[in-house]
Amino acid sequence: MNLSYGNGQEPLVAVIEKQAEYLVGEPTPSFRDNLHPDLKYVTAFTAGGFTNVFMSHVNLIYIALLSQRIPVIPPFSPVHQGLSTGFFQASEVFNLSLLSQAIRTPVLEWQQIKDLAAPNVDSLGCWSVQETLGGHYHLTPNVEESMHLNFSYTRVPEFTRLTPSPNEYFGNYMALASLSFPQTRSEALAEAAGKPYPDRHYVDPDEQMLCYDLLYYVASAVQYEWEREWSPAWRFVGRHIRWSDHVLDITKGVVGRTFGGSGTGDVPPYISVHVRRTDFKNACPDYVTLAECMPTLAAYARRVKQVQEELQKTRGLTVNNVVVLSDEKDEGWWKEVTDMGWKRIDHAKEGTQEKYGEWYLPVIDVVAQSLAIGFVGTDHSTMSLVSSKRVREWNGGVTRVVRWGIPGADDD
Helix axes 50-67, 382-395, angle to 10 degrees: 60
Same domain, 305 and 371: yes
Q: Is residue 77 very low, low, confident or very high in pLDDT (cuts 50, 70, 90)?
A: confident
Same domain, 86 and 219: yes
Residue 325's Cα: distance from chain center in Å?
18
Residues 334-393 have pLDDT tens digits of: 999 999 999 999 999 999 999 999 999 999 999 999 999 999 999 999 999 999 999 999
Tell me the average pLDDT across 118-139. Answer: 93
Q: What is the pLDDT of residue 30?
A: 98
* Torsion angles phi and psi, residue 169, rounded to 5: -110, 5
Same domain, 152 and 201: yes
How many Cα atoms are found within 13 Å in the side-chain-facing hemisphere of 363?
26
Q: What is the pLDDT of residue 197?
A: 78
Tell me the average pLDDT across 96-113. Answer: 97
Whole-angstrom Cα distance, residue 210 to residue 199?
Answer: 20
Which amino acid, residue 15?
V
**Boundary residue ending a domain (240, 257, 291):** 240
Going by their DSSP bridges, the two strands 108-109 and 149-155 should be labelled as unpaired
Q: What is the pLDDT of residue 194?
A: 74
Give first-to-last CA distance, the chain, whole Å.
42
Q: Is residue 80 very low, low, confident or very high in pLDDT (cuts 50, 70, 90)?
A: low
For Cα atoms 20, 26, 28, give the angle at the middle one, nearest 5 degrees: 125
Same domain, 257 and 393: yes
Residue 348's Cα: distance from chain center in Å?
26
What percent of the chain has a predicted confidence (pLDDT) above 90?
A: 78
Whole-angstrom Cα distance, residue 63 to residue 69?
Answer: 8
- CATH code, domain carrying 93: 3.40.50
Same domain, 285 and 376: yes
SS3 content of the chain, % helix, strand, coil (to 5): 45, 15, 40
For Cα atoms 87, 371, 329, give the angle at the middle one, nearest 5 degrees: 60
Tell me the average pLDDT across 235-247. Answer: 98
Residue with the bigger pLDDT between 143 and 391: it is 391
Residue 336 in any domain: the answer is yes
Tell me the average pLDDT across 122-139. Answer: 92
Same domain, 160 and 269: no
pLDDT of 82 above 90: no
Total tally of structural domains belonging to the chain: 2
Same domain, 233 and 276: no
Q: Is residue 232 very low, low, confident or very high in pLDDT (cuts 50, 70, 90)?
A: very high
Contact (CB, 8 A) for 410 and 402: yes
What percent of the chain has a predicted confidence (pLDDT) above 70?
A: 93
Whole-angstrom Cα distance, residue 5 to residue 22?
Answer: 10
Residue 198 in any domain: the answer is yes
Residue 374's Cα: distance from chain center in Å?
21
**Cβ partners under 8 Å of residue 252, min gap 6:** 263, 267, 371
Q: What is the pLDDT of residue 258?
A: 97
H helical segments located in 68-177: 90-93, 96-103, 110-113, 129-134, 141-147, 173-177
Residue 411 in any domain: the answer is no
Same domain, 181 and 263: no
Residues 395-411 have pLDDT tens digits of: 999 999 999 988 888 88
Helix axes 382-395, 360-370, angle to 10 degrees: 40
The mean predicted confidence, pLDDT, of the chain is 91
Q: Is residue 10 very low, low, confident or very high in pLDDT (cuts 50, 70, 90)?
A: very low
**Boundary residue ending a domain (240, 259, 284):** 240
Q: What is the pLDDT of residue 65?
A: 98
Same domain, 135 and 114: yes
Helix axes 360-370, 50-67, angle to 10 degrees: 70
Helix, coil or strand: residue 283: helix
Residues 246-287 have pLDDT tens digits of: 999 999 999 999 999 987 878 999 999 999 887 787 888 888
Residues 53-73 have pLDDT tens digits of: 999 999 999 999 999 999 999
Same domain, 226 and 259: no
Longest dimension (CA), the chain: 66
pLDDT of 16 above 90: no
pLDDT of 9 above 60: no
Residues 346-359 have pLDDT tens digits of: 999 999 999 999 99
Q: Among 100, 33, 30, which residue's Cα sits nearest to residue 72?
A: 100
Residue 182 in any domain: the answer is yes
Residue 5 in any domain: the answer is no
Residue 1 in any domain: the answer is no
Residue 407 in any domain: the answer is no
**Boundary residue ending a domain (240, 256, 288):** 240
Same domain, 235 and 367: no
- CATH code, domain carrying 304: 3.40.50.11350
Q: What is the pLDDT of residue 18?
A: 56
- What HEC string does 262-281 produce? CCCCCCCCCEEEEECCCCHH
Q: Is residue 196 very low, low, confident or very high in pLDDT (cuts 50, 70, 90)?
A: confident
Task: Categorise residue 335: left if φ over 0, alpha if ψ from -120 to 50, beta otherwise.
Answer: alpha
Residue 3 in any domain: the answer is no
Helix, coil or strand: residue 77: coil
Q: Which residue segment(s) compose the domain that 136 sits in?
A: 12-240
Same domain, 84 and 185: yes
